[in-house]
Amino acid sequence: MRRQALQRAAAAARPAVSRRTFVARAAYEAARKMMPKISDTERVALGCGTVGFDREIFSGKPSLENLLTTYAPLVTLTDEEKSFLANETEELCGLVDDFKVLEDKDFSDEVWRFMRRQGFFALKIPKEWGGKGFSTAATSAVLVKLGTASSDLASTVAVPNSLGPGELLVRYGTPEQQKYYLPLLADGTFIPCFGLTGIHSGSDATSLIGSYGVVEERDGEIGVKCTFDKRYITLAPVAGLVGIGFELQDPNNLLKGNGEEGFTVALLERSHDNLEMGPRHCPLHAAFMNGTVKGSDVWVPMDAILGGQERCGFGWHMFVECLAEGRGVSLPAMAVGLGKGAAPMVGAYARARKQFKVPIAEFGGVQEALALMASDGYIAMASTELMNAIVDNHEAPMVLSSIMKQNVTNRGRDIINHAMDVSGGAGISMGASNYLGSAYMSFPIAITVEGANIMTRSFQIIGQGLMRCHPHLLDVVEALQSDSGDAPSKFMAGVKNMASHGATNFGRSVVAGVKDAVSLKGGETGSMKPDAFVKLHEDRLQRLSANFAVAADLALLLGGRLKFEEMFMGRLADAIGAVFLGYGCLHHYARNHDKVDAGLQRVAEHALLRLEAEAFEALKHAADNVPKMPAGAHHVVGSVLRTAVAPLGDFGATTKAPTDALTKATADLLTTRDSDYVSTLLLPGVYTSGAYQKEVLGALSLCLEADAIERACKRARKHPTADEQKILEAAAAARDRIVQVQAFEKLGHAERAPGHVRPALAQTDAWLADEPAAREAAAA
């Protein structure tokens, strides 16, 4: 009886199972038609790098506790690293006259020798090969300090310590290559460079048009005949060793399965036959070496292929995994240098500089610019410390490195722009005392290199992030790309997981949104205890992360069209970028709030309020601008996203920009001594030993004291005492010295030529000499 009952139940279930199988197959086939085929290059890229905290954001519930547990121990420098910063790095900064470097378009013999012999090009090469073996955090700190003395100095040191032959050799070189090249790189005999960008590449690093190599056999040995035309290669004009990326072809199957076709890297010394290196570009009149690398029918022995023959076709793995360091560490370090170096200088200058008999530090417009400099500087510093720790944890997060590159370099540009606005003529007039002009002119380079920010924001962050970091999408895509019999069932399982993921984040978003709307904790949080401050802002960032996860899930409804909706993707990139930077700020604050006074909470609050508002506004704009979908579905999608982001509309919104009172208080961090934030967290990591830096920073206390005396005398309607008058006179003298700018008797190559007279003056003299005769002729 029981057996018959089971058989009847099984028979009754078969139609339902059959229907489900039919539906799964139909849905699978429909989705497969919509899904574009993943190219081999895209498939390789998906397998490169690592995924970590970025997946937590896509999941909708990132954890600050996990960040602190995993990465907080990795931000501390060793005694050796601290000594290198305090001694060798400080000495190198002192050897460089930034204005002279700009004029000469090169460093002195002494500077080049010092960089090479003191290991500045081998900071990441392990000690066993003669390098420094420094952590990523230490390398970043060196770049930050160098950047505060000379942006060209930082650029020169950055490249060999991020994406270059040294890093690639350590990871992928054969034992023979490591034994020969690494000691020569470590002692500075070879300066390295990496030749990837071709004349048609732009921001598409995968484009190797014009760079190719064909496997051939000569004298019984196989090798590669290469042709390439590279440009924008930093250090190429002085490099002794270049890594060349090219597309390898093996039409005659000479590799015989040991290696394969595709992107390949070769190591060539400067003296290699038919290799042309030397001509320079002039990137915005910066002085760092940048130029071309060309070769036609260059013979490359197989032992010159990085990693040997078995690594033929493995170049994208090498490149992508090393790229995280250049994009996520080296370039953001330039922005950190501005936040830690330029911001305190501009703050002190604003206190010393007077207009209408009032220090410009008291002007509301100036305070607004200074506060933005302070909080952007804090965002750059905090997020960079977190990113450095992630890389030191042996991770290569492609999405996070893209977020860092685009967001932090953009904020660095904002910092230098605000600095120029406040400094006025002192920032415009070039000379030995101009500490901003060089960075201002060259910072757009950081925006452009290693993937232009405009492309990184509008395409790369979300395009990569959805595939790599979404907890379920890759399973669905792999099922769609598969021809196996169980692919439809795997596809449906993935779709169910995605639907559950979306519903969970939607519910979490609505609940958190309503809770925030009716709470009394909106707006500023600066008076809170540290633990409560961290808890409240993490709750807000988790809510925004859940909002973002809903937006990312809804974006998938666009299918293959999503990659062409770059404005929409750009808004989502703004949201995830702000959330990650917010966690960087919380990670930093949680580790340091007991080491610094309340000034740290002030700048952290200003930064977090701005980031939360940026993420919220980006998601609202995304909801208002969902790309058109069939049957008006985009209206429904927009409404769903709008409900997730702001379930009660604008009522009780907690993502508000900083108030004017907080903005003024944040600006005061740079222009007064009411906090040890600047002296504890900013100045120790920058170069302050230059004559002008000492003058400006040293004048801050004196000018504050003089301002206080003037206010007291005005209130009391009395004259200053003799001692007070001395302070006032000393402050006035300091102010006079600080506002001076350099003037040149002769400027430019033409004027320096013997006997040169400015053409306009010569013309005036000639015309004045001819004028009497002309008047007499006219009168006659």
Q: Do 205 and 247 form a contact (C-beta atoms < 8 A)?
A: no
Contacts of 561 (CB under 8 A, 6+ apart): 627
Residue 133: other Cβ atoms inside 10 A: 19
In 3D, which of 608, 706, 693 has the Cα closest to residue 657? Answer: 608
φ, ψ of residue 327 in degrees (nearest 5): -75, -40
Neighbour-count burial for 399-421, b at 16+ CB within 10 Å, e otherwise: bbbbbbbbbbbbbbbbbbebbbe
- For the residues of 631-649, what is the DSSP string, one character each? GGHHHHHHHHHHHHH-TTT
H helical segments located in 672-690: 677
Contacts of 2 (CB under 8 A, 6+ apart): none
Q: Do 150 and 96 form a contact (C-beta atoms < 8 A)?
A: yes
Q: Do 655 and 612 form a contact (C-beta atoms < 8 A)?
A: yes
d(CA 35, CA 467): 13
Structure tokens at 23: 């539906």
Which residue shows structure tokens 């340091």? 592
d(CA 26, CA 23): 5
Residue 300: other Cβ atoms inside 10 A: 23
Question: Which regions of 331-471 does DSSP assign to beta strands (E)?
Answer: 354-355, 358-359
d(CA 130, CA 122): 8
User: In this structure, are strands 241-249 and 192-195 parallel, antiparallel, or unpaired?
Assistant: parallel
How many CA atoms lie less than 13 Å away from 517 in the CB half-sphere? 15
In 3D, which of 50, 754, 774 has the Cα closest to residue 401? Answer: 50
| CA angle in degrees (0–180, nearest 5) for 333-82-390 | 45
Neighbour-count burial for 469-496, b at 16+ CB within 10 Å, e otherwise: bbbbbbbbbebbeeeeeebbbbbbbbbe
- Active-site choice (450, 565, 612, 724): 450
Amino acid at residue number 202: G
In 3-state terms the chain splits into helix, strand, coil percentages (rounded to 5) of 65, 10, 25
Structure tokens at 393: 């944890």
Task: Decide if 450 is catalytic.
Answer: yes
Catalytic site residues? 450
